[in-house]
Structure 1
Protein backbone atom coordinates (compact mmCIF):
# COMPACT_ATOMS: atom_id res chain seq x y z
CA UNK A 1 0.00 0.00 0.00
CA UNK A 2 1.41 3.39 -1.00
CA UNK A 3 1.71 6.27 1.52
CA UNK A 4 -1.20 7.99 -0.24
CA UNK A 5 -3.39 4.88 0.00
CA UNK A 6 -2.45 4.50 3.68
CA UNK A 7 -3.48 8.08 4.40
CA UNK A 8 -6.92 7.65 2.85
CA UNK A 9 -7.33 4.29 4.58
CA UNK A 10 -6.63 6.06 7.87
CA UNK A 11 -9.54 8.47 7.44
CA UNK A 12 -12.45 7.89 9.82
CA UNK A 13 -14.59 8.33 6.70
CA UNK A 14 -14.09 9.84 3.27
CA UNK A 15 -15.81 13.26 3.15
CA UNK A 16 -18.68 13.30 0.66
CA UNK A 17 -20.03 16.20 -1.38
CA UNK A 18 -23.72 17.20 -1.39
CA UNK A 19 -25.59 16.05 -4.50
CA UNK A 20 -26.25 19.58 -5.74
CA UNK A 21 -22.50 20.30 -5.65
CA UNK A 22 -21.74 17.08 -7.51
CA UNK A 23 -24.23 18.08 -10.20
CA UNK A 24 -22.71 21.54 -10.50
CA UNK A 25 -19.20 20.12 -10.82
CA UNK A 26 -20.43 17.81 -13.57
CA UNK A 27 -22.04 20.81 -15.28
CA UNK A 28 -18.69 22.62 -15.52
CA UNK A 29 -17.90 20.54 -18.58
CA UNK A 30 -21.27 21.09 -20.25
CA UNK A 31 -22.60 23.91 -22.39
CA UNK A 32 -26.27 22.90 -21.99
CA UNK A 33 -26.82 23.22 -18.25
CA UNK A 34 -30.27 22.40 -16.84
CA UNK A 35 -30.56 25.49 -14.65
CA UNK A 36 -34.12 24.59 -13.68
CA UNK A 37 -32.95 21.37 -12.05
CA UNK A 38 -30.17 23.16 -10.19
CA UNK A 39 -32.54 25.86 -8.97
CA UNK A 40 -34.96 23.19 -7.74
CA UNK A 41 -32.18 21.64 -5.67
CA UNK A 42 -31.15 25.02 -4.28
CA UNK A 43 -34.75 25.66 -3.19
CA UNK A 44 -34.65 22.49 -1.08
CA UNK A 45 -31.60 23.76 0.82
CA UNK A 46 -32.41 26.61 3.23
CA UNK A 47 -28.79 27.63 3.74
CA UNK A 48 -28.09 27.82 0.01
CA UNK A 49 -31.35 29.65 -0.64
CA UNK A 50 -30.44 32.26 1.98
CA UNK A 51 -27.02 32.83 0.45
CA UNK A 52 -28.40 33.15 -3.08
CA UNK A 53 -30.99 35.71 -1.92
CA UNK A 54 -28.37 37.61 0.09
CA UNK A 55 -26.13 37.93 -2.96
CA UNK A 56 -29.00 38.98 -5.26
CA UNK A 57 -30.04 41.66 -2.79
CA UNK A 58 -26.50 42.94 -2.22
CA UNK A 59 -25.32 46.33 -3.47
CA UNK A 60 -23.14 44.52 -6.02
CA UNK A 61 -26.23 43.71 -8.09
CA UNK A 62 -28.12 46.95 -7.48
CA UNK A 63 -31.61 45.46 -7.28
CA UNK A 64 -34.27 48.20 -7.35
CA UNK A 65 -36.51 46.25 -4.97
CA UNK A 66 -36.04 43.37 -2.56
CA UNK A 67 -35.83 39.98 -4.26
CA UNK A 68 -37.57 37.18 -2.39
CA UNK A 69 -37.85 34.41 -5.00
CA UNK A 70 -34.98 32.03 -5.77
CA UNK A 71 -35.80 31.92 -9.49
CA UNK A 72 -35.62 35.70 -9.72
CA UNK A 73 -32.42 35.76 -7.64
CA UNK A 74 -30.70 33.24 -9.92
CA UNK A 75 -31.70 35.28 -12.96
CA UNK A 76 -30.20 38.34 -11.26
CA UNK A 77 -26.84 36.83 -10.26
CA UNK A 78 -26.35 34.42 -13.17
CA UNK A 79 -25.05 30.85 -13.46
CA UNK A 80 -21.45 31.75 -12.66
CA UNK A 81 -22.32 33.31 -9.31
CA UNK A 82 -24.74 30.47 -8.54
CA UNK A 83 -21.94 28.00 -9.09
CA UNK A 84 -19.70 30.00 -6.77
CA UNK A 85 -22.25 30.00 -3.96
CA UNK A 86 -23.17 26.32 -4.26
CA UNK A 87 -19.61 25.01 -4.61
CA UNK A 88 -18.24 27.24 -1.85
CA UNK A 89 -21.11 26.37 0.48
CA UNK A 90 -20.81 22.67 -0.29
CA UNK A 91 -17.08 22.64 0.36
CA UNK A 92 -17.31 24.59 3.59
CA UNK A 93 -20.09 22.35 4.91
CA UNK A 94 -18.26 19.17 3.89
CA UNK A 95 -15.37 20.36 6.06
CA UNK A 96 -17.34 22.32 8.64
CA UNK A 97 -15.03 21.48 11.54
CA UNK A 98 -11.49 20.15 11.52
CA UNK A 99 -9.60 20.00 14.80
CA UNK A 100 -6.63 22.34 14.86
CA UNK A 101 -7.82 24.47 11.92
CA UNK A 102 -9.52 27.86 12.12
CA UNK A 103 -12.14 27.05 9.49
CA UNK A 104 -13.34 30.63 9.06
CA UNK A 105 -9.81 31.79 8.23
CA UNK A 106 -9.21 28.73 6.05
CA UNK A 107 -12.34 29.20 3.93
CA UNK A 108 -11.97 32.95 3.73
CA UNK A 109 -8.57 32.56 2.08
CA UNK A 110 -9.87 29.73 -0.12
CA UNK A 111 -12.84 31.78 -1.34
CA UNK A 112 -10.79 34.87 -2.08
CA UNK A 113 -8.27 32.68 -3.93
CA UNK A 114 -11.10 31.11 -5.92
CA UNK A 115 -12.53 34.46 -6.97
CA UNK A 116 -9.09 35.77 -7.95
CA UNK A 117 -8.44 32.55 -9.89
CA UNK A 118 -11.61 33.06 -11.92
CA UNK A 119 -10.35 36.51 -12.95
CA UNK A 120 -6.79 35.35 -13.60
CA UNK A 121 -8.12 32.27 -15.38
CA UNK A 122 -9.69 34.25 -18.19
CA UNK A 123 -6.83 33.24 -20.44
CA UNK A 124 -6.76 31.18 -23.59
CA UNK A 125 -6.99 27.52 -22.68
CA UNK A 126 -8.10 28.08 -19.07
CA UNK A 127 -11.70 27.45 -18.01
CA UNK A 128 -12.55 30.21 -15.46
CA UNK A 129 -15.01 27.92 -13.65
CA UNK A 130 -12.33 25.25 -13.31
CA UNK A 131 -10.05 28.01 -12.03
CA UNK A 132 -12.60 29.03 -9.38
CA UNK A 133 -13.06 25.45 -8.18
CA UNK A 134 -9.34 24.66 -8.11
CA UNK A 135 -8.64 27.91 -6.28
CA UNK A 136 -11.27 27.04 -3.69
CA UNK A 137 -9.83 23.55 -3.18
CA UNK A 138 -6.11 24.30 -3.32
CA UNK A 139 -5.45 23.51 0.36
CA UNK A 140 -8.15 20.91 0.94
CA UNK A 141 -5.44 18.25 1.12
CA UNK A 142 -4.29 19.84 4.37
CA UNK A 143 -7.72 19.21 5.88
CA UNK A 144 -7.54 15.55 4.88
CA UNK A 145 -4.11 15.29 6.54
CA UNK A 146 -5.56 16.79 9.72
CA UNK A 147 -8.43 14.28 9.67
CA UNK A 148 -6.26 11.25 8.91
CA UNK A 149 -3.27 12.13 11.12
CA UNK A 150 -4.21 14.57 13.91
CA UNK A 151 -0.88 13.97 15.63
CA UNK A 152 1.08 14.77 12.50
CA UNK A 153 -1.06 17.85 11.98
CA UNK A 154 0.04 19.15 15.39
CA UNK A 155 3.67 18.70 14.35
CA UNK A 156 2.98 20.67 11.18
CA UNK A 157 1.48 23.47 13.28
CA UNK A 158 4.76 23.63 15.24
CA UNK A 159 6.86 23.78 12.07
CA UNK A 160 6.92 27.60 12.10
CA UNK A 161 4.22 27.84 9.43
CA UNK A 162 6.32 27.00 6.36
CA UNK A 163 4.79 27.76 2.99
CA UNK A 164 5.23 26.67 -0.61
CA UNK A 165 7.90 24.09 -1.29
CA UNK A 166 9.07 24.17 2.34
CA UNK A 167 5.62 23.07 3.48
CA UNK A 168 5.67 20.19 1.01
CA UNK A 169 9.07 19.08 2.30
CA UNK A 170 7.86 19.10 5.91
CA UNK A 171 4.72 17.14 5.00
CA UNK A 172 6.70 14.54 3.05
CA UNK A 173 9.19 14.14 5.89
CA UNK A 174 6.35 13.30 8.27
CA UNK A 175 3.91 11.22 6.19
CA UNK A 176 5.72 10.63 2.85
CA UNK A 177 3.08 12.58 0.90
CA UNK A 178 2.14 16.26 0.69
CA UNK A 179 -1.17 18.12 0.66
CA UNK A 180 -0.97 18.67 -3.11
CA UNK A 181 -0.92 14.92 -3.75
CA UNK A 182 -3.68 14.40 -1.21
CA UNK A 183 -5.89 17.15 -2.65
CA UNK A 184 -5.49 15.79 -6.16
CA UNK A 185 -6.39 12.30 -4.99
CA UNK A 186 -9.51 13.61 -3.23
CA UNK A 187 -10.53 15.39 -6.44
CA UNK A 188 -10.15 12.05 -8.23
CA UNK A 189 -12.36 10.33 -5.64
CA UNK A 190 -14.96 13.06 -6.15
CA UNK A 191 -14.83 12.73 -9.96
CA UNK A 192 -13.60 16.26 -10.55
CA UNK A 193 -12.31 17.02 -14.08
CA UNK A 194 -8.66 15.97 -14.73
CA UNK A 195 -7.65 19.64 -15.19
CA UNK A 196 -8.67 20.39 -11.61
CA UNK A 197 -6.90 17.30 -10.32
CA UNK A 198 -3.72 18.43 -12.10
CA UNK A 199 -3.99 21.97 -10.75
CA UNK A 200 -4.29 20.74 -7.17
CA UNK A 201 -1.32 18.42 -7.67
CA UNK A 202 1.02 21.08 -9.08
CA UNK A 203 -0.15 24.52 -7.91
CA UNK A 204 2.87 24.86 -5.59
CA UNK A 205 5.18 23.76 -8.42
CA UNK A 206 3.63 25.42 -11.49
CA UNK A 207 6.82 25.19 -13.57
CA UNK A 208 6.99 21.40 -13.29
CA UNK A 209 6.70 19.88 -16.80
CA UNK A 210 3.64 17.92 -15.63
CA UNK A 211 1.80 21.06 -14.51
CA UNK A 212 -0.94 22.50 -16.71
CA UNK A 213 -1.82 26.15 -17.17
CA UNK A 214 -4.46 25.93 -14.47
CA UNK A 215 -1.79 25.10 -11.87
CA UNK A 216 0.02 28.34 -12.74
CA UNK A 217 -3.25 30.29 -12.45
CA UNK A 218 -3.94 28.86 -8.99
CA UNK A 219 -0.33 29.46 -7.91
CA UNK A 220 -0.56 33.18 -8.74
CA UNK A 221 -4.09 33.51 -7.39
CA UNK A 222 -3.32 32.15 -3.93
CA UNK A 223 -0.46 34.62 -3.58
CA UNK A 224 -2.53 37.54 -4.87
CA UNK A 225 -5.42 36.63 -2.57
CA UNK A 226 -3.25 36.52 0.54
CA UNK A 227 -1.60 39.83 -0.23
CA UNK A 228 -4.86 41.57 -1.12
CA UNK A 229 -6.26 40.42 2.21
CA UNK A 230 -3.15 41.80 3.91
CA UNK A 231 -3.95 45.23 2.45
CA UNK A 232 -1.17 45.45 -0.15
CA UNK A 233 -1.80 47.53 -3.25
CA UNK A 234 -2.20 45.96 -6.70
CA UNK A 235 1.06 47.64 -7.74
CA UNK A 236 2.98 46.10 -4.84
CA UNK A 237 1.54 42.68 -5.60
CA UNK A 238 2.18 42.81 -9.35
CA UNK A 239 5.80 43.84 -8.81
CA UNK A 240 6.46 40.72 -6.73
CA UNK A 241 4.87 38.11 -9.01
CA UNK A 242 7.20 35.41 -10.32
CA UNK A 243 8.36 36.33 -13.82
CA UNK A 244 8.67 32.68 -14.86
CA UNK A 245 5.10 31.87 -13.80
CA UNK A 246 3.79 34.93 -15.64
CA UNK A 247 5.68 33.76 -18.73
CA UNK A 248 4.13 30.31 -18.35
CA UNK A 249 0.76 32.01 -18.82
CA UNK A 250 2.03 34.42 -21.49
CA UNK A 251 0.93 37.15 -19.10
CA UNK A 252 2.62 40.55 -19.14
CA UNK A 253 3.10 42.21 -15.76
CA UNK A 254 0.97 45.17 -16.87
CA UNK A 255 -1.83 42.77 -17.83
CA UNK A 256 -1.51 41.07 -14.45
CA UNK A 257 -1.72 44.48 -12.75
CA UNK A 258 -5.10 45.46 -14.21
CA UNK A 259 -6.46 42.01 -13.40
CA UNK A 260 -5.31 42.41 -9.80
CA UNK A 261 -6.88 45.87 -9.69
CA UNK A 262 -10.21 44.31 -10.70
CA UNK A 263 -9.84 41.93 -7.75
CA UNK A 264 -9.10 44.47 -5.03
CA UNK A 265 -12.66 44.43 -3.63
CA UNK A 266 -12.88 40.63 -3.50
CA UNK A 267 -11.87 40.25 0.17
CA UNK A 268 -14.90 42.33 1.20
CA UNK A 269 -17.21 40.65 -1.33
CA UNK A 270 -16.21 37.23 -0.02
CA UNK A 271 -18.29 37.81 3.10
CA UNK A 272 -21.40 37.17 1.00
CA UNK A 273 -20.26 33.60 0.37
CA UNK A 274 -19.43 32.74 3.99
Structure 2
Protein backbone atom coordinates (compact mmCIF):
# COMPACT_ATOMS: atom_id res chain seq x y z
CA UNK A 1 0.00 0.00 0.00
CA UNK A 2 1.10 3.58 -0.70
CA UNK A 3 0.19 6.70 1.30
CA UNK A 4 -1.31 8.15 -1.87
CA UNK A 5 -3.87 5.32 -1.81
CA UNK A 6 -5.24 6.90 1.37
CA UNK A 7 -5.07 10.49 0.14
CA UNK A 8 -6.92 9.66 -3.10
CA UNK A 9 -10.08 8.93 -1.10
CA UNK A 10 -10.91 12.62 -0.95
CA UNK A 11 -14.49 12.06 0.17
CA UNK A 12 -13.23 10.42 3.36
CA UNK A 13 -10.53 12.94 4.34
CA UNK A 14 -11.04 15.19 7.40
CA UNK A 15 -12.79 18.43 6.46
CA UNK A 16 -10.77 21.23 8.06
CA UNK A 17 -12.36 24.72 7.75
CA UNK A 18 -10.56 27.32 5.61
CA UNK A 19 -10.11 29.66 8.58
CA UNK A 20 -8.10 26.97 10.39
CA UNK A 21 -5.85 26.41 7.38
CA UNK A 22 -5.31 30.16 7.03
CA UNK A 23 -4.33 30.52 10.67
CA UNK A 24 -1.90 27.60 10.54
CA UNK A 25 -0.23 28.99 7.43
CA UNK A 26 0.09 32.37 9.16
CA UNK A 27 2.08 30.74 11.94
CA UNK A 28 5.12 30.53 9.67
CA UNK A 29 4.97 34.22 8.77
CA UNK A 30 6.61 36.41 11.45
CA UNK A 31 5.25 39.55 9.76
CA UNK A 32 1.65 38.39 9.63
CA UNK A 33 -0.96 40.83 10.94
CA UNK A 34 -3.76 39.38 13.04
CA UNK A 35 -6.10 42.35 12.95
CA UNK A 36 -8.55 40.54 10.66
CA UNK A 37 -8.58 37.21 12.54
CA UNK A 38 -11.74 37.93 14.52
CA UNK A 39 -13.57 38.96 11.34
CA UNK A 40 -12.61 35.71 9.60
CA UNK A 41 -13.51 33.58 12.60
CA UNK A 42 -16.90 35.30 12.86
CA UNK A 43 -17.76 34.03 9.37
CA UNK A 44 -17.62 30.41 10.58
CA UNK A 45 -20.67 30.13 12.81
CA UNK A 46 -19.94 26.63 14.15
CA UNK A 47 -16.44 27.53 15.31
CA UNK A 48 -17.55 30.93 16.63
CA UNK A 49 -20.23 29.39 18.85
CA UNK A 50 -17.89 26.73 20.23
CA UNK A 51 -15.13 29.27 20.92
CA UNK A 52 -17.55 31.61 22.72
CA UNK A 53 -18.87 28.73 24.83
CA UNK A 54 -15.35 27.90 26.00
CA UNK A 55 -14.48 31.57 26.56
CA UNK A 56 -17.52 31.91 28.83
CA UNK A 57 -16.75 28.75 30.78
CA UNK A 58 -15.15 28.44 34.21
CA UNK A 59 -11.92 27.50 32.40
CA UNK A 60 -11.26 31.19 31.71
CA UNK A 61 -13.07 32.61 34.73
CA UNK A 62 -13.95 35.92 33.09
CA UNK A 63 -15.99 38.36 35.15
CA UNK A 64 -18.67 38.97 32.51
CA UNK A 65 -20.29 37.15 29.61
CA UNK A 66 -18.59 37.58 26.23
CA UNK A 67 -21.00 37.77 23.29
CA UNK A 68 -18.75 38.33 20.27
CA UNK A 69 -15.49 37.09 18.76
CA UNK A 70 -14.26 40.71 18.72
CA UNK A 71 -14.60 40.86 22.51
CA UNK A 72 -12.99 37.45 22.87
CA UNK A 73 -10.00 38.61 20.82
CA UNK A 74 -9.53 41.67 23.03
CA UNK A 75 -9.78 39.71 26.28
CA UNK A 76 -7.89 36.57 25.28
CA UNK A 77 -5.40 37.96 22.81
CA UNK A 78 -4.97 36.66 19.28
CA UNK A 79 -2.64 33.80 20.26
CA UNK A 80 -5.15 32.21 22.63
CA UNK A 81 -7.96 32.76 20.14
CA UNK A 82 -5.89 30.97 17.47
CA UNK A 83 -5.42 27.93 19.68
CA UNK A 84 -9.16 27.72 20.35
CA UNK A 85 -10.05 28.08 16.67
CA UNK A 86 -7.50 25.44 15.61
CA UNK A 87 -8.65 23.00 18.30
CA UNK A 88 -12.31 23.55 17.43
CA UNK A 89 -11.73 23.29 13.68
CA UNK A 90 -9.93 19.98 13.87
CA UNK A 91 -12.23 18.39 16.42
CA UNK A 92 -15.18 19.12 14.11
CA UNK A 93 -13.42 17.87 10.97
CA UNK A 94 -14.88 14.35 11.24
CA UNK A 95 -18.19 13.25 12.74
CA UNK A 96 -17.76 9.47 12.98
CA UNK A 97 -14.82 7.07 12.60
CA UNK A 98 -14.90 3.29 12.63
CA UNK A 99 -12.71 1.88 15.40
CA UNK A 100 -12.02 5.20 17.16
CA UNK A 101 -13.89 6.97 19.94
CA UNK A 102 -13.55 10.54 18.72
CA UNK A 103 -14.09 12.27 22.07
CA UNK A 104 -11.18 10.29 23.55
CA UNK A 105 -9.05 10.80 20.44
CA UNK A 106 -9.42 14.59 20.47
CA UNK A 107 -9.21 14.91 24.27
CA UNK A 108 -5.88 13.09 24.04
CA UNK A 109 -4.75 15.37 21.20
CA UNK A 110 -5.78 18.50 23.14
CA UNK A 111 -3.73 17.41 26.15
CA UNK A 112 -0.67 16.70 23.99
CA UNK A 113 -1.12 20.15 22.43
CA UNK A 114 -1.25 21.88 25.83
CA UNK A 115 1.80 19.92 27.03
CA UNK A 116 3.77 20.68 23.84
CA UNK A 117 2.95 24.36 24.29
CA UNK A 118 4.04 24.17 27.96
CA UNK A 119 7.45 22.84 26.92
CA UNK A 120 7.74 25.37 24.06
CA UNK A 121 7.27 28.29 26.45
CA UNK A 122 10.39 27.12 28.31
CA UNK A 123 12.78 26.99 25.37
CA UNK A 124 13.87 29.70 22.89
CA UNK A 125 14.06 27.10 20.10
CA UNK A 126 10.33 26.36 19.74
CA UNK A 127 7.36 28.65 18.99
CA UNK A 128 4.49 28.04 21.42
CA UNK A 129 1.67 28.26 18.86
CA UNK A 130 3.48 25.92 16.47
CA UNK A 131 3.92 23.44 19.32
CA UNK A 132 0.21 23.65 20.12
CA UNK A 133 -0.75 23.02 16.50
CA UNK A 134 1.51 19.98 16.03
CA UNK A 135 0.12 18.61 19.29
CA UNK A 136 -3.42 18.84 17.91
CA UNK A 137 -2.45 17.06 14.66
CA UNK A 138 0.29 14.71 15.92
CA UNK A 139 -2.03 11.71 15.49
CA UNK A 140 -3.87 12.88 12.37
CA UNK A 141 -2.30 10.07 10.33
CA UNK A 142 -3.93 7.49 12.56
CA UNK A 143 -7.28 9.21 12.06
CA UNK A 144 -6.65 9.17 8.30
CA UNK A 145 -5.91 5.45 8.42
CA UNK A 146 -9.15 4.67 10.27
CA UNK A 147 -11.13 6.77 7.77
CA UNK A 148 -9.63 5.29 4.60
CA UNK A 149 -8.49 1.76 5.54
CA UNK A 150 -10.56 0.79 8.61
CA UNK A 151 -9.95 -2.98 8.40
CA UNK A 152 -6.16 -2.56 8.39
CA UNK A 153 -6.42 0.07 11.14
CA UNK A 154 -8.38 -2.39 13.27
CA UNK A 155 -5.83 -5.14 12.59
CA UNK A 156 -3.07 -2.82 13.82
CA UNK A 157 -5.12 -1.94 16.90
CA UNK A 158 -5.53 -5.64 17.71
CA UNK A 159 -1.81 -6.39 17.35
CA UNK A 160 -0.93 -3.49 19.66
CA UNK A 161 -3.65 -4.31 22.20
CA UNK A 162 -2.50 -7.94 22.38
CA UNK A 163 1.14 -6.82 22.72
CA UNK A 164 2.06 -8.72 19.55
CA UNK A 165 3.88 -5.63 18.21
CA UNK A 166 4.51 -1.98 18.95
CA UNK A 167 2.41 0.44 16.87
CA UNK A 168 5.29 1.63 14.67
CA UNK A 169 6.34 -1.95 13.81
CA UNK A 170 2.75 -3.07 13.24
CA UNK A 171 2.16 -0.16 10.85
CA UNK A 172 5.43 -0.78 9.00
CA UNK A 173 4.63 -4.48 8.62
CA UNK A 174 1.04 -4.05 7.45
CA UNK A 175 1.28 -0.76 5.55
CA UNK A 176 4.93 -0.22 4.61
CA UNK A 177 4.82 3.21 6.28
CA UNK A 178 3.80 4.69 9.64
CA UNK A 179 0.79 6.79 10.57
CA UNK A 180 3.28 9.62 11.21
CA UNK A 181 4.37 9.41 7.55
CA UNK A 182 0.71 9.52 6.53
CA UNK A 183 0.10 12.49 8.82
CA UNK A 184 2.85 14.48 7.18
CA UNK A 185 1.56 13.62 3.71
CA UNK A 186 -1.91 14.84 4.66
CA UNK A 187 -0.49 18.08 6.07
CA UNK A 188 1.52 18.59 2.86
CA UNK A 189 -1.71 18.08 0.89
CA UNK A 190 -3.33 20.78 3.04
CA UNK A 191 -0.31 23.05 2.37
CA UNK A 192 0.56 23.47 6.05
CA UNK A 193 4.05 24.86 6.84
CA UNK A 194 6.68 22.19 6.15
CA UNK A 195 8.17 22.41 9.64
CA UNK A 196 4.90 21.32 11.23
CA UNK A 197 4.62 18.27 8.99
CA UNK A 198 8.25 17.37 9.67
CA UNK A 199 7.64 17.45 13.42
CA UNK A 200 4.58 15.21 13.11
CA UNK A 201 6.54 12.72 10.99
CA UNK A 202 9.62 12.55 13.23
CA UNK A 203 8.37 13.12 16.78
CA UNK A 204 8.32 9.42 17.69
CA UNK A 205 12.03 9.07 16.86
CA UNK A 206 13.49 12.59 16.83
CA UNK A 207 17.09 11.36 16.52
CA UNK A 208 16.45 9.06 13.54
CA UNK A 209 17.07 11.65 10.82
CA UNK A 210 20.35 13.31 11.77
CA UNK A 211 20.27 16.54 13.78
CA UNK A 212 17.13 16.48 15.96
CA UNK A 213 14.49 19.11 15.30
CA UNK A 214 13.51 21.08 18.46
CA UNK A 215 9.80 21.12 17.58
CA UNK A 216 9.82 17.33 17.07
CA UNK A 217 11.55 16.98 20.43
CA UNK A 218 9.01 19.17 22.24
CA UNK A 219 6.22 17.04 20.76
CA UNK A 220 8.03 13.85 21.80
CA UNK A 221 8.22 15.11 25.39
CA UNK A 222 4.54 16.07 25.35
CA UNK A 223 3.60 12.57 24.20
CA UNK A 224 5.80 11.07 26.93
CA UNK A 225 4.08 13.11 29.65
CA UNK A 226 0.66 12.40 28.17
CA UNK A 227 1.34 8.66 28.35
CA UNK A 228 2.43 9.08 31.97
CA UNK A 229 -0.80 10.93 32.79
CA UNK A 230 -2.90 8.32 31.00
CA UNK A 231 -1.29 5.46 32.95
CA UNK A 232 -1.23 7.44 36.23
CA UNK A 233 2.50 6.95 36.59
CA UNK A 234 4.13 8.02 39.85
CA UNK A 235 6.03 11.34 39.76
CA UNK A 236 9.33 9.72 40.73
CA UNK A 237 8.99 7.21 37.89
CA UNK A 238 8.15 10.01 35.47
CA UNK A 239 11.37 11.83 36.35
CA UNK A 240 13.35 8.59 36.26
CA UNK A 241 12.17 7.76 32.75
CA UNK A 242 12.27 11.33 31.43
CA UNK A 243 14.11 11.51 28.06
CA UNK A 244 16.85 13.99 29.03
CA UNK A 245 18.60 13.84 25.64
CA UNK A 246 15.36 14.83 23.90
CA UNK A 247 14.85 17.71 26.37
CA UNK A 248 18.40 18.95 25.72
CA UNK A 249 17.83 18.82 21.95
CA UNK A 250 14.64 20.86 22.45
CA UNK A 251 16.71 23.57 24.15
CA UNK A 252 15.17 23.03 27.56
CA UNK A 253 17.12 23.77 30.77
CA UNK A 254 18.49 20.86 32.80
CA UNK A 255 16.19 21.73 35.70
CA UNK A 256 13.02 21.24 33.62
CA UNK A 257 12.55 17.82 35.19
CA UNK A 258 11.80 19.53 38.53
CA UNK A 259 8.98 21.58 36.94
CA UNK A 260 7.09 18.62 35.50
CA UNK A 261 4.54 18.55 38.33
CA UNK A 262 3.18 21.84 36.95
CA UNK A 263 2.69 20.25 33.52
CA UNK A 264 0.97 17.19 34.95
CA UNK A 265 -1.94 19.28 36.26
CA UNK A 266 -2.66 21.18 33.06
CA UNK A 267 -6.40 21.90 32.81
CA UNK A 268 -8.57 20.00 30.32
CA UNK A 269 -10.77 23.02 29.58
CA UNK A 270 -10.49 22.56 25.81
CA UNK A 271 -12.53 19.36 26.09
CA UNK A 272 -15.64 21.55 26.14
CA UNK A 273 -15.09 22.00 22.40
CA UNK A 274 -16.09 18.36 21.99
CA UNK A 275 -19.68 18.82 23.19
Whether these two folds match at TM > 0.5 is: yes
Write out aligned runs for 1:54-65 (5 A): 54-65=53-64
Tell whether the 8 Å contact from 1:229 to 1:267 is kept in structure 2 after alignment.
Answer: no
5+ residue gaps, structure 1, are none
Write out aligned runs for 1:46-195 (5 A): 46-122=45-121, 123-161=123-161, 166-195=166-195
C-alpha displacement at 1:162, in angstroms? 7.8
The 1-side partners of 2:203 and 2:156 are apart by 20
Tell whether the 8 Å contact from 2:54 to 2:270 is kept in structure 1 after alignment.
Answer: no
Q: Which moved more, 1:5-14 or 1:66-75?
A: 5-14
**Cα separation, partners in 2 of 1:9 and 1:24, compared to 1, 3 Å:** same
Please provide the CA RMSD for this pair: 2.4
C-alpha displacement at 1:245, in angstroms? 1.5
C-alpha displacement at 1:137, in angstroms? 0.7
Number of equivalences: 271
Tell whether the 8 Å contact from 2:2 to 2:176 is kept in structure 1 after alignment.
Answer: yes
C-alpha displacement at 1:4, in angstroms? 2.2
Aligned to 1:220: 221
Q: Which moved more, 1:207-216 or 1:230-239?
A: 230-239
C-alpha displacement at 1:200, in angstroms? 0.8
Identify the structure with bigger relative contact order (alpha carbons < 8 Å, sequence gap 6+). 2
The 2-side partners of 1:248 and 1:51 are apart by 37
**Cα separation, partners in 2 of 1:124 and 1:36, compared to 1, 3 Å:** closer
Tell whether the 8 Å contact from 1:187 to 1:197 is kept in structure 2 after alignment.
Answer: yes
C-alpha displacement at 1:243, in angstroms? 2.5
C-alpha displacement at 1:169, in angstroms? 0.9
C-alpha displacement at 1:174, in angstroms? 0.6
The 2-side partners of 1:72 and 1:256 are apart by 38
SS in 2 for 1:266: coil
The 2-side partners of 1:253 and 1:269 are apart by 30
2:236 pairs with 1:238: no
5+ residue gaps, structure 2, are none
- Please give the TM-score of this superposition, normalised by the length of structure 1: 0.88
SS in 1 for 2:191: coil
Tell whether the 8 Å contact from 1:195 to 1:212 is kept in structure 2 after alignment.
Answer: no
C-alpha displacement at 1:24, in angstroms? 0.6
Which 4+ stretches in 1 moved above 4 angstroms?
10-13, 229-236
The 1-side partners of 2:51 and 2:15 are apart by 22
**Cα separation, partners in 2 of 1:67 and 1:11, compared to 1, 3 Å:** closer
- Please give the TM-score of this superposition, normalised by the length of structure 2: 0.88
C-alpha displacement at 1:60, in angstroms? 4.3
